[in-house]
Structure formats: structure tokens, C-alpha cells
């Protein structure tokens, strides 16, 4: 038998009786209930002004801030002149474990750039948000810092993000 690597804390006597623990649980729930209850009444009467009405987050009106390194929906960066920074080197589709990136390259009119993507699609349906594409990119053209984590659609096609959409996506405003 494989030994269980998680060592469980042994319960002491009052904990093993459970009664005290049940009461402790009720106390926590009740504390939040009455706090929310009183605070909302206070806010409705205009007594409480500065503090929040509730301890919970009112999703979707309210969202938790996203940490800076959080891998959200992708975006593509532009050069200073507005052209895509991507050179269509295909590193990201090569590394992508979900095969969700499709790039079609073409000869750029600018001989110093040579190659640019005419088509760049990410199928978010398949994407596993691993961030390998960001790691693999040699020119820092793709990032996952838009802060957009809510991705829902009623049609599969809507999950396919295309070049212009990715280029126009903005980074998250104030990540924590």
C-alpha cells in the first residue's frame, strides 16, 4: 500500500464531539448574514455610507481584480506604425498542445519585415490557456494579458478569434 502523503491533523476531544464545531459553523454563517442584513439596511437608510453593503462580490456587476500574470484571453501586439508585430514564424502553433492556433503567412511589402501574418486565428474552444504561445514567441507579439476570462458564446464560430480582433484587444487596465 502506498503511504498517504497528506498527514491529517488529529482532532482533539471537543472537536471530536462535533457539537462545538457545528455551533462554530453556525456562528460564522450567522455573523455574515446579520452583518450583510444590517449593513444593507444601514445603506438603505443612509446611515452607512463608506463601507460596502455586503461581504460577497456582486458578480457579474462586480469582478475580482485579476493578478498581473494571470493568463486571460490572448491579444496581439502592434509595432509603432500599427502593423502586427507578429512575423508569422509559427512558433506558437508549433508549441500549442491543443492545436488551436492557425497562421497563414505571406510576403510583406516591407523587405525589412519580409514575412507577416495574413491570417491568425485562435480557436478559444480548443485553447487550454497554457500560455506556451506567449513563452514561445520570439518577438513578444502575443500576450495573454487582456484580463478577459469570461468567454461565452452561443455559437462555436464565435470562439474563433481572428487577426484584427486580436490586434484590437487591449491589455487589462489595472491588474493587481
Q: Give the rounded distance of the alpha carbon of 38 from its chain centre.
A: 34
Candidates 112, 152, 154, 174; binder of another protein (CB under 8 A) is 112
How many chain residues are in contact with another protein, going by CB under 8 A? 21
Query: Least separation, in Å, of the C-beta of 101 and another protein?
Result: 9
- Does 144 participate in binding another protein (rule CB under 8 A)? no
Angstrom distance (rounded) from CA 134 to CA 142? 6
Residue 94 Cβ, how far from another protein at the closest point, in Å? 7
Which of 46, 60, 69, 138 touches another protein by CB under 8 A? 138
Spatial separation of the C-alpha atoms in residues 159 and 122, rounded to whole Å: 8
Q: Residue 161: in which H helix or E strand, if any?
A: strand 160-161
Strand bridging mode 75-76 / 115-123? unpaired
Q: How far is the CB of 85 from another protein (least distance, A)?
A: 12
Rule CB under 8 A: is residue 114 a binding residue for another protein?
Answer: yes
Q: Which of residues 50-109 bind another protein (CB under 8 A)?
A: 87-91, 94, 99-100, 102, 105-107
142 pairs with which residues across the strands? Answer: 76
40 neighbors 113 (Cβ within 8 angstroms): no
- When asked if residue 140 is in the footprint of another protein (CB under 8 A), the reply is no
Residue range at the interface with another protein (CB under 8 A); choices 15-23, 76-84, 113-121, 127-135: 113-121
Grid coordinates of 35: 452583518
Of positions 17, 47, 63, 139, contacts another protein by CB under 8 A:
139
Strands (E), 17-169: 75-76, 101-107, 115-123, 142-143, 160-161
121 binds another protein (CB under 8 A): yes
**E strands of 50-155, at which residues?**
75-76, 101-107, 115-123, 142-143
By CB under 8 A, name the binding residues for another protein.
87-91, 94, 99-100, 102, 105-107, 111-112, 114-115, 121, 123, 138-139, 160
Amino acid at each position: 500500500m502506498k503511504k498517504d502523503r497528506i498527514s491529517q491533523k488529529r482532532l482533539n476531544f471537543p472537536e471530536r464531539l462535533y457539537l462545538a464545531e457545528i455551533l462554530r459553523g453556525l456562528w460564522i454563517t450567522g455573523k455574515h448574514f446579520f452583518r450583510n442584513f444590517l449593513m444593507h439596511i444601514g445603506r438603505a437608510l443612509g446611515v452607512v455610507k463608506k463601507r460596502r453593503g455586503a461581504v460577497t462580490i456582486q458578480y457579474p456587476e462586480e469582478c475580482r481584480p485579476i493578478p498581473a500574470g494571470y493568463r486571460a484571453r490572448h491579444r496581439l501586439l502592434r509595432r509603432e506604425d500599427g502593423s502586427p508585430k507578429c512575423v508569422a514564424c509559427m512558433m506558437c502553433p508549433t508549441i500549442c498542445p491543443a492545436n488551436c492556433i492557425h497562421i497563414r503567412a505571406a510576403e510583406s511589402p516591407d523587405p525589412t519585415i519580409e514575412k507577416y501574418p495574413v491570417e491568425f486565428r485562435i480557436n478559444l474552444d480548443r485553447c487550454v490557456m497554457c500560455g506556451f504561445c506567449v513563452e514561445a514567441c520570439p518577438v513578444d507579439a502575443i500576450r495573454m494579458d487582456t484580463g478577459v476570462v469570461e468567454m461565452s458564446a452561443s455559437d462555436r464560430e464565435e470562439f474563433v478569434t481572428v487577426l484584427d480582433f486580436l490586434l484590437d484587444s487591449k491589455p487589462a487596465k489595472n491588474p493587481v
